Amino acid sequence: MRAFLASAIGVACTAALVLPTAAIAAPAPAVPASTASPGSTQSLPLVPLVPDAPGDDRAAGTVPQGLTERDARPFSLLGVIWDDPEAELHGTVQVRTRSTGTGAWSGWQFLETHHHEHAPDAGTAERETGKARGSTAPLWVGASDGVEVRVRPGGDAAVRGAAPAPLPSGLRLELVDPDDDPPPGTTTTAAADAAEDNADDAAAQTGAADDADDPRTTVLTAEDAAASAVNADLVPLGATEVPALSKAETEAQTFVLGGKPRIGPRPRIVTRKGWGANEQLRERNFVYTKRVKVAFVHHSATGNNYSCSQADSVLRSIYRYHVKSSGWRDLGYNFAIDKCGNIYEGRAGGVAKAVMGAHTLGFNSNSTGIAVLGTYSKSKPRAAVVKAVARLTAWKLGLYGANPSAKTTLKSGGGNRYKKGTRAKLNVIAGHRDGVSTDCPGGHLYSKLADVRAASARLQGR
């Protein structure tokens, strides 16, 4: 069943949502220059740490690497990268940072090292540019100006008593600044953060927006206009959000060949313009696949130490890390959801279109990737998150005639769970771990996917 969308501005024709696989050049109308904050990335090479004992004779590549305590320009997110995107880091990565607000150093925090399963598929233009690098998951640390890092080899070999695997070559620490950190002394208390999150949660339920006075939303560059124009069937050029629609309104806007659409009400989606994406970072063109058969649910593994008003900063930081540090063409995820249930447009190309992402290695074609911002291996997602995933999938999958409670098959492009060419049978709403051997999206979020499938199907009227 193929879905078509009536133009939101009253044009008599309809726009097909399912596009052929291709790289399509974005339009570039002449518009004023932007005042958007560009952000920045500091890239610091790691060095061997002082051996634990005199006469250390460990093999090359097995000596711990890192950086001792040092000052840095302001940053809010960090990660470790290395030269070869095919290489894995078998070991541990720990960091500690100094807050710009309090001047205090944090305790040691671990970075998720098994991050290679978030990547463009092998053989795609995005993977073969020569820019792609191996990387840990990024970690959100908040406004900071000091850092210390240590990387130790280890992994399964060390557990078995064998020599640890060498560390990848070219290890670097990436410090990302979204260029909107609050001035020193403006850190909030846990109670204030909780109150703010509750307010944001209520706003997410009512569809209220809070960015009307944001200067980043007042000017369009040519790149901004191109990223916005692909949503022109839904909202005017330069819109900061795609507003929510009722089920009846959504059905009236959507036509399905051969019968009534099975589609959920369209949720409110903050656009890339709304969260302040710097469109000059990404590749100019957009890449599409044929349809959307599966929605893969992820967690960003960036930690939960953010307030929901900081979610756009977290997203801008991940975006910069994916492009500038990992070497991808754009943000890897098609959508993001913060812990208050707000939904964000991810990779550029149009929220209703089948945009190829870089979220599930081997299964980026004919799928969409939804990342919940945070880490859910030990923490439980809020009810608002589960509801948001259900609402988004009921709408997005409904555009392509997909039943959220069903199973389907995808052909693997190659990964650590399914060999290239394998036809994998998957839930239409799947966890990242269903396609690749990984902890993502964390055990607590993964355990909620049965509830998500049921709720999403109900919203479609099944």
pLDDT at 194 over 60: no
Give per-residue pLDDT as tens, 123-150: 677 767 778 899 999 999 999 999 999 9
Residue 357 and residue 334 in contact, taking contact as beta carbons nearer than 8 Å? yes
Strands 294-299 and 367-372: parallel
In percent, the amount of the chain with pLDDT more than 90 equals 66
Residue with tokens 């001035």: 183
Q: Supply the mean pLDDT for the chain.
A: 83
Q: What is the DSSP string of 9-50?
A: T--SSEEES---SEEEPPP----PPP-----EEEEEE-EEPP
Q: Rounded distance, CA 228 to CA 235, Å?
A: 9
Weakest mean pLDDT among 123-127, 285-289, 362-366: 123-127
Query: What does the pLDDT read at residue 129?
Result: 77
What pLDDT band is residue 158 in, cutting at 50, 70 and 90?
A: very low
Give per-residue pLDDT as tens, 11-67: 223 233 333 333 333 333 333 333 334 689 999 999 999 655 444 455 557 899 999
Average pLDDT estimate for 197-219: 47
Q: 149 or 259: which carries more pLDDT confidence? A: 149
Query: What does the pLDDT read at residue 373?
Result: 98
pLDDT at 242 over 90: yes
**Rg (alpha carbons) of the chain, rounded to whole number:** 22
pLDDT at 219 over 50: yes
Query: What does the pLDDT read at residue 14?
Result: 29
Angle, vertex CA 53, rays to CA 172 and CA 106, nearest 5: 45
* Token representation of residue 406: 């069903």
- Produce one character per residue of 94-129: b if its CB has 16 or more CB atoms within 10 Å, e if not: ebbbbbbbeeeebeeeebbbbbbbbbbbeebebbee
Instruction: Name the residue among 126, 174, 168, 129 with its Cα closest to residue 151.
Output: 168
Kindly state the DSSP code that residue 355 receives in the 8-state scheme: B
Query: What does the pLDDT read at residue 281?
Result: 94
pTM of the prediction? 0.83
Query: What does the pLDDT read at residue 24?
Result: 38
Q: What is the DSSP string of 101-125?
A: TT-PBP--EE-----TTSSPPTTST
CB under 8 Å to 17, separation ≥6 — which residues? 3, 4, 5, 352, 353, 354, 399, 400
* Token representation of residue 181: 């950190």
Spatial strand order of the sheet with 367-372 comes to 241-242, 269-270, 343-345, 335-337, 367-372, 294-299, 429-431
Residue 318 and residue 357 in contact, taking contact as beta carbons nearer than 8 Å? no
Average pLDDT estimate for 371-379: 97
Query: What does the pLDDT read at residue 43?
Result: 97
